[in-house]
């Protein structure tokens, strides 16, 4: 067992399916796939790290809103600053749940607040704020730093895939520039392999006489939301290929999971099921469609990962095999 590349995984049929696919793709026999086609894409929130009770980026944003409302009383009666100041989790989580039901009104209010909070900031200053947040902030109920909220089995899977010649990418609805510092620190995925939603950006030419410098700055607008059918579009735009392996956990991941493989390529489509109230959380909300799809069976490479049954360890706290 000491050479086991997936020590946090139980010896289950799910693990066996993953290993069989990856070994075949990297092998010389049936199922071989050329190295350049070995692309794996991972959703982030709820797939690589914990997304409950609220997505980690939302906590980052709410702290910023609360600080803004502290400085500016006129914001205190307006959403989303009101909810942030009053710790109104119901309004906030409702905005996300309603989005998955097709009602984006509250999500747009929330986004409007985000644009107000970060518009006109340089990308460099934003990256520093994110890094400072990740260095200090903790999960409210798991009582662990956010930087320790990555799922250990998924990090092992990333390394296992890379060890078999796969290029690994994050393809998430989260904000690309928020995820980049986290991806480097928690998953060792470099920033050029992070695909996500993006605020609109502009380039400000240098003002000095040197003729060198200039800055990229967030405009007060969204460029695109990388979720649902936008995920295959953004994966293609960035990678120029279909993924061979796609890993997600929510309804917004269905198109990305479908898009994997192709006429001449196999696919491994993994859906993480949050069914572990003891070690993490148990919930299906926002995942009804993708869970229904994966429940139809393993044809076309669809597999559920049960956090409860397939993972020996969730966050890397359990004593390892001796």
- The residues of the shown chain that bind its own copies, judged by CB under 8 A, are 36, 123, 167, 176-177, 180, 190-192, 194, 198, 201-203, 205-206, 210-214, 216, 229-233, 236-241, 255, 258-263, 267, 269, 293, 296, 299-302
Shortest distance in whole angstroms from residue 241 CB to its own copies: 7
Where do we find the tokens 């799922």? 151
Shortest distance in whole angstroms from residue 132 CB to its own copies: 18
The DSSP string of 215-280 is EEEEEEEEEE---TTHHHHHHHHHHSS--SEEEE-SGGGHHHHHHSSBTTB--EEEEEEEE-TTTS
Three-state DSSP class for residue 316: coil
Are 248 and 47 in contact by the 8 Å Cβ rule? The answer is: yes
Enter the tokens of residue 80. 């989303």
Task: Report the alpha-carbon distance of residue 63 to residue 102 in Å, rounded.
Answer: 27
Task: Report the alpha-carbon distance of residue 58 to residue 300 in Å, rounded.
Answer: 35
| Closest to 267 (Cα-Cα) out of 299, 245, 252, 294 | 245
Q: Closest CB to its own copies among 67 and 233?
A: 233
Shortest distance in whole angstroms from residue 174 CB to its own copies: 14
Shortest distance in whole angstroms from residue 269 CB to its own copies: 8
Shortest distance in whole angstroms from residue 277 CB to its own copies: 30
Q: Closest CB to its own copies among 145 and 190?
A: 190
Shortest distance in whole angstroms from residue 203 CB to its own copies: 4
| Closest to 305 (Cα-Cα) out of 231, 263, 225, 249 | 249
Enter the tokens of residue 150. 């990555």
Cross-strand pairs, 217: 122, 202
Task: Report the alpha-carbon distance of residue 227 to residue 284 in Å, rounded.
Answer: 18
Shortest distance in whole angstroms from residue 188 CB to its own copies: 12
Q: Closest CB to its own copies among 107 and 189?
A: 189
230 CA to centre of own chain: 14
Q: Closest CB to its own copies among 132 and 236?
A: 236
Q: Closest CB to its own copies among 1 and 205?
A: 205
């Amino acid at each position: 067992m000491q050479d086991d590349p997936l020590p946090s995984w139980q010896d289950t049929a799910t693990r066996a399916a993953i290993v069989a696919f990856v070994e075949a793709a990297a092998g010389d026999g049936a199922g071989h796939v050329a190295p350049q086609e070995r692309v794996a894409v991972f959703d982030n929130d709820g797939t690589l790290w914990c997304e409950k009770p609220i997505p980690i980026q939302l906590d980052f944003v709410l702290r910023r809103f609360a600080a803004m409302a502290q400085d500016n009383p006129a914001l205190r009666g307006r959403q989303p600053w009101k909810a942030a100041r009053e710790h109104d989790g119901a309004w906030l989580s409702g905005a996300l749940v309603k989005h998955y039901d097709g009602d984006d009104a509250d999500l747009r209010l929330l986004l409007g607040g985000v644009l107000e909070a970060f518009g006109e900031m340089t990308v460099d200053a934003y990256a520093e704020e994110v890094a400072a947040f990740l260095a200090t902030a903790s999960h409210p109920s798991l009582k662990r730093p956010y930087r320790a909220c990555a799922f250990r089995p998924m990090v092992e899977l990333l390394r296992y895939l890379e060890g078999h010649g796969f290029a690994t990418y994050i393809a998430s609805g989260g904000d690309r520039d928020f995820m980049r510092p986290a991806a480097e620190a928690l998953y060792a995925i470099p920033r050029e392999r992070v695909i996500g939603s993006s605020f609109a950006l502009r380039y400000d030419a240098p003002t000095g006489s040197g003729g060198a410098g200039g800055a990229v700055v967030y405009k007060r607008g969204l460029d695109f939301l990388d979720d649902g059918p936008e995920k295959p579009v953004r994966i293609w735009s960035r990678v120029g290929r279909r993924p061979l392996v796609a890993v997600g956990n929510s309804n917004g991941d269905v198109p990305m999971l479908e898009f994997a493989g192709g006429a001449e390529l196999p696919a491994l489509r993994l859906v993480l099921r949050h069914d572990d109230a003891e070690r993490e959380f148990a919930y299906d909300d926002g995942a009804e469609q993708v869970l229904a799809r994966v429940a139809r069976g393993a044809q076309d490479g669809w597999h559920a990962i049960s956090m409860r049954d397939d993972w020996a360890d969730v966050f890397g706290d359990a004593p390892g095999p001796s």
